[in-house]
Amino acid sequence: MSGVHAAPFVQPASFEFTPESMEQVNRHIAKYPKGRQQSAVMPLLDIAQRQNGGWLPEAAIRAIGELLGMPYIRVYEVASFYTMYNLVPVGRHFVQVCTTTPCWLRGSDQVMEACRQSLGVRNGHTSADGQFTLIEVECLGACVNAPMMQIGDDFYEDLDADSTRRILDDLKAGRTPAPGPQIDRQFSAPEGGPTTLKETA
């Protein structure tokens, strides 16, 4: 479970997949042979979390357990182990700043401080308007483009304090900042562009 601190909130009494979500659920379950459908637990947790605005209530965990024939505690163990699942409500924009060694060496402290100042929240907390939740996380797997942060499903890479503030300002204003490297870099290629094989035949 992520280290998000939520204000007091009410657990919904029930959870039911929407017809659209249920189509996705059935597609994932069908990927596994008979007797192995419990292997679909992770994608089902993700579907439920997306349907529920970014977090997993207990009722959703129980519903998935019933659907897959798994005890509640086994589904909960998965949901509480992986930081991709939130067991408490989070903001509309879930800001995850990587602070593992490669990102730290390249300035994740400045990125985190820019987030704190721009959003007015501490690590693990949600802004008063409910729009942003900020949290430090371990490696997100974009080390070559360090430092980076993930917001929702998007990676923002090669950050500094200024580019971090710009991204957050865009989100506050309802704009969609371009994900990926925030410097002159194509994906994870060397900075400044290719040095060899510049021409194609």
Predicted structure pTM score: 0.85
Q: Is residue 6 part of a domain?
A: no
Residue 63 belongs to a domain with what CATH number?
1.10.10
Domain end: 81, 101, 116, which one?
Answer: 81
pLDDT digits (tens, 9 = 90+) for 144-175: 999 999 999 999 999 999 999 999 999 999 99
Q: Are residues 168 and 113 in the same domain?
A: yes
Over the stretch 65-118, which tens digit does the pLDDT of each residue have? 999 999 999 999 999 998 889 999 999 999 999 999 999 999 999 999 999 999
Domain extent, residue 147, equals: 93-181
| 25 and 52 inside one domain | yes
Are 75 and 27 in a shared domain? yes
Counted residue by residue, the chain has a size of 201
- Looking at the structure, do residues 97 and 150 belong to the same domain, yes or no? yes
